[in-house]
Structure 1
Amino acid sequence: MSGLLEVRYFAGARAAAGLSTERIAADSLDDLTSLLADRHGERLALVLKAASFLVDGLACHDRQAALPAGATVDVLPPFAGG
């Protein structure tokens, strides 16, 4: 069963989504990115393909790992500069 998550967008992800935060139910990062792309369109879908994700403040590289209900997921697009 999907758990309700808080998704926080930063930088270009915020611009692509058109908001800074939202709540959505998803089981994994793959599930979440698919739902968000459907909800917000191709511009955000492109950002999500290159984005990094923090789940409750910890980097998450396994997009198929189960997300705990109530987790906060930060969407961090690639940043320019060095």
Structure 2
Amino acid sequence: MGGDLTVRYFAGARAAAGVDEENVPAGLTLDGLARELMVRHGNQLLAVLTVASFLVDGTAWHDRQAPLPQGATVDVLPPFAGG
């Protein structure tokens, strides 16, 4: 583990992935992470990832090409309905 990334899924992302959280190798960008997760979980999760927001260690992460910090926690937040 150590430098790996922890990915936590919420709401529809959790349903699409079929797990609450998992570890992935460090050294990925957000786009690379999306590809890795699609390989693991298929197109249903990919559909969620294309519209999701991402928090990295609690901070909104918008740069899809910047390397994610080693040991970070990435929260996958699909759009929420309601008010």
Give the TM-score normalised by the residue count of structure 1.
0.93
How many residues align structurally? 80
Q: 1:15 — aligned with what?
A: 15
**What's the CA shift for 1:37?**
0.6
Which residue number corresponds to residue 24 of structure 1? 24
CA distance in 2: counterparts of 1:14 and 1:8, whole angstroms: 8
* CA distance in structure 2 between the partners assigned to 1:66 and 1:44 by the alignment: 21
Letter in 2 for 1:51: A
Report the secondary structure of 1:46's partner residue. helix
TM-score (norm 2): 0.92
Q: Which structure 2 residue ranges, 5 or more long, are not aligned?
A: none
Percent identity of equivalent pairs: 68
- Give 1:66 deviation, angstroms: 1.0
Higher share in strand: 1
- Computed over aligned residues only, the root mean square deviation of the Cα atoms, in angstroms, reads 0.9
CA deviations 1:25-81 (Å, max 9, x no partner) are 141100000100111001000000000000000000111111111000000001112
